[in-house]
Amino acid sequence: MGPRPGSHQSDRWKKLLGYHTCWGSKDVNQRGQDLLEFLTSSGLDILNRGTKPTFVTRNRQEVIDITISNSWSSHLVTNWRVSSEVSMSDHRHILFNLETGTVPVEREYRNPKLTVWSTYKDILSRNVGPPVRPHTIPQIESSVKNLTKAVVHAYEQSCPVRKVRSRHSVPWWNPELLTLRKKARALFNRAMRTRTNADWDLYKEAQRQFKSCIKRSKRDAWKEFCEIIEDLAAASRIHKVLKKDQDCRINDLRLPDGTYTCTDRETLELLLRSQAEKSGTRTLMLSCHTGSSGSQMGPKHLRVLGPVSGACVLGWNLVSPLGKHASVFQAEVFAISACVSENLKRGYSNQHIQICTDSQAALHALKSPRITSQVVLECTNSLAALGQRNKVRLVWVPGHSGVAGNEEATC
């Protein structure tokens, strides 16, 4: 609702808003003059065309909304106009076309289910003559080419071409909304002609009903969509939700070192690690396990279903659940990494620290110049940080050999 003409509030509104005939206003005020000078000095163009009001109430019809652009893109905007469609506010919709120079391509397709098979057989029988036995390679190739051409021609003639609709359907739009919109539009046009308070009241009531019906329709459509999703399997449910947005993808995430993930795999691993830190559970990606003899076993054969612990001779131990899908190799490397992290937290310096493990596979991976596992990389970085202020040794010991810490870790 706008202020009444001649009122104190109306004068205050005029001082706040900028009016100028350059964008269709009826008069010019100081704020409008200042705005025009700023736009001119900044190299910005005004795209408004005509004097059709952009702000309409029962007491005021003014052009107070302007569209601006730089000089480079102003020539791309065509057909600027104020829409006559009823909006949900006192401001009218502003429409324009953006000419990008690209030509829209109409996509066409054929649905095999709509093929008229009687027509297909009739055309194919006419185009394919009696069979002739080929005796040479060129004859075979010619027969194949002719048969393929006949099959494709018969299919194209018997299956209608359909065009892909570029417009997406609005699930919450219904005939009731269409009727209310027509009613509001008619009452708005009537109020603009008569300028009477009674007609404006009728228009405002129709506008209120239209808004209320839109909210209710959107809520009901979302509720119906959620109920359909609940009836699907878990995997299909996620797929159906994501399919609604074709551009939906995981963006690059920032790593702790300040860099960003480059691949989807790195992004997913970072999300898993972040979630595990919040929940207190460490979830690891699977990799092959290399035994002491050098033999390898696939990750599907190796699981750690309980907690894994790393212990040292200082008299404390660590227990960390890794989840149901961690491999033995990952558990062994993580035990070393957890012990190193605990030493870093305690701030030891100038100490001789010896870490014992019965996993030759873990030691081999940690000393390898090529690292392909995120768990191994984290452990290597932790060892390097601990080794800057201490003397650290990794020692292999046989399992169940009486070494303190190793016995506790395997209990």
pTM over 0.75: no
- Residues sharing a CB contact under 8 Å with residue 232, sequence separation 6 or more, in sequence order: 240
Higher pLDDT, residue 60 or 279: 60
Q: What is the CATH number of domain 282-410?
A: 3.30.420.10
Task: Evaluate whether 395 touches 356 at the Cβ level (below 8 Å).
Answer: yes
**Domain range summary for the chain, segments of one domain joined by +:** 8-98, 108-163, 175-243, 282-410
DSSP 291-341: -TTS-EE-GGG----S-EEEE-TTS-EEEE---TT--HHHHHHHHHHHHHH
Residue 322: count other Cβ atoms within 10 Å of its Cβ.
23
Type of residue found at 93: H
Measured on CA atoms in the order 150, 152, 154, 157, is the torsion positive or negative?
negative
- Is residue 297 over pLDDT 50? no
Strands 391-396 and 296-297: unpaired
Lowest mean pLDDT among 120-129, 142-151, 250-259: 250-259
Question: What confidence tens digit (pLDDT) does each residue in 185-209 have?
Answer: 899 889 888 989 999 999 999 989 9
Query: What are the angstrom distances between the C-alpha of 348 and each of 351, 353, 385, 387, 388?
Result: 7, 9, 11, 10, 11
Most confident of 18-27, 103-112, 147-156, 344-353: 147-156
Q: Which two tokens stand for residue 23?
A: 């964008």
CATH for 8-98, options being 3.30.70.1140, 3.40.50.720, 3.10.290.20, 3.60.10.10? 3.60.10.10
DSSP 140-196: HHHHHHHHHHHHHHHHHHHS-EEEPP-SPP-TT--HHHHHHHHHHHHHHHHHHHH--
Q: Where are the alpha helices (DSSP H) in 347-411?
A: 360-367, 374-387, 406-410
pLDDT at position 243 is 61
Q: How confident is the model at residue 154 (pLDDT cuts 50, 70, 90)?
A: very high
Q: Which helix (H) or strand (E) covers residue 277, if one does?
A: helix 264-279
Question: What confidence tens digit (pLDDT) does each residue in 230-286 have?
Answer: 655 655 656 655 665 555 555 567 777 777 777 777 777 787 777 656 555 444 444
